[in-house]
Structure 1
Amino acid sequence: MTSPLLKPLRGYYHHLVPWLDRRSLDAVLLLMRVVLGSVFFLSALTKVDASGITQSTFFLFENEYDLPLIPPALAAYLATLAEFSLSLALWGGLATRLAATGLLFMTLVIQTFVYPDAWITHGLWAGSLLTLILRGPGRLSLDWLVNAWLTEAAHRR
């Protein structure tokens, strides 16, 4: 005798799961890039004003953020530049794996030295960044266009 519960479970594992496994991740990867890029871009915006990096940013790097091995002023410049440039690269899907690696490194530094109690947020960022590193940006990206162009150029030789 079969349990009434087995039929829906069988349908789930034999039909729905394989169907979902065949779906493209392109939209999901784009969503990850847009959301994570926005997190870091908006963070960079808080560090600058019309005259450049704000005094409050320098204050935070000197007094609140406990970064070892790097002078606070240099850290403020590097963090701001990285947040702007890597988030833009992520949005466009250009050198996505490199950009995601840079942002993952920043996330690990923030988690370790700045906000160690925010491990849930940083874990979500890290999981998404690792997905982008391992799977790439998807077809909705400049990386995909560059790769297609390079592949076509190689076949013409």
Structure 2
Amino acid sequence: MTTTKPSTEPGLMHRSRVCRVVAWLERVPYALLAIPLRVALATVFWNSAMVKLADWNAALDLFRNEYNLPVLPPELAAYVAVSIELSTPVLLVLGLATRPAAFVLLAMTSIIEIFVYPQAWPTHIQWAAMLLVLLCRGSGKWSLDHLIRQKWDSAR
């Protein structure tokens, strides 16, 4: 009588472990992944607003002399930029109006990339990738967006 032993071939054992790890990773809920995306992006843009507000005259000088944005006067562009950088991070952290906030920040990132710092594309593409995930998938279940959507759906 022969008994079959489980294969102890190193390649099969390694593949089995890899498959288990991949399966475990695929079960991580999007809601958990969305939180660090929202917080990371909020931090980037909030910090940018804080730098501008720390020395508003220097910020205005940057908009006048370095940024060279088309269409908008430098002063108006500075106010628009800091307004976006102050409001959208709060929305992202709360998970409120996440898709519109992500869209606005994606537009702002595109403007910065095209007109201001095209050489900073490695950073901008990281921001854009995170923003696209939030734009396409939303804020996740642990957000005000989700709570509002639940209330809205139950009211119908």
TM-score w.r.t. the length of structure 1 is: 0.87
Pick aligned residue for 1:8 from 14, 38, 44: 14
TM-score w.r.t. the length of structure 2 is: 0.88
Q: CA deviation at 1:39?
A: 0.8
Task: State the match for 2:25 in structure 1.
Answer: 20
Task: State the match for 1:88 in structure 2.
Answer: 90
Task: State the match for 1:97 in structure 2.
Answer: 99
Query: Pairwise CA RMSD of aligned residues?
Result: 1.8
1:108-123 map, 5 Å: 108-123=110-125
Which stretches in structure 2 are left out of the alignment for 5+ residues? 1-7
Task: State the match for 1:143 in structure 2.
Answer: 145
Identity rate, percent = 44
Q: CA deviation at 1:10?
A: 4.1
Name the count of aligned residue pairs.
Answer: 150
Q: CA deviation at 1:116?
A: 1.2
Q: CA deviation at 1:43?
A: 0.6
| Aligned-partner Cα distance in 1 for 2:31–2:10 | 37
1:44-59 map, 5 Å: 44-49=49-54, 54-59=56-61
| 3-state SS in 2 of match to 1:137 | coil
Q: CA deviation at 1:75?
A: 0.5
Pick aligned residue for 1:41 from 21, 41, 46: 46
Structure number, greater radius of gyration? 2
Task: State the match for 1:32 in structure 2.
Answer: 37
Task: State the match for 1:79 in structure 2.
Answer: 81
Q: CA deviation at 1:91?
A: 1.0
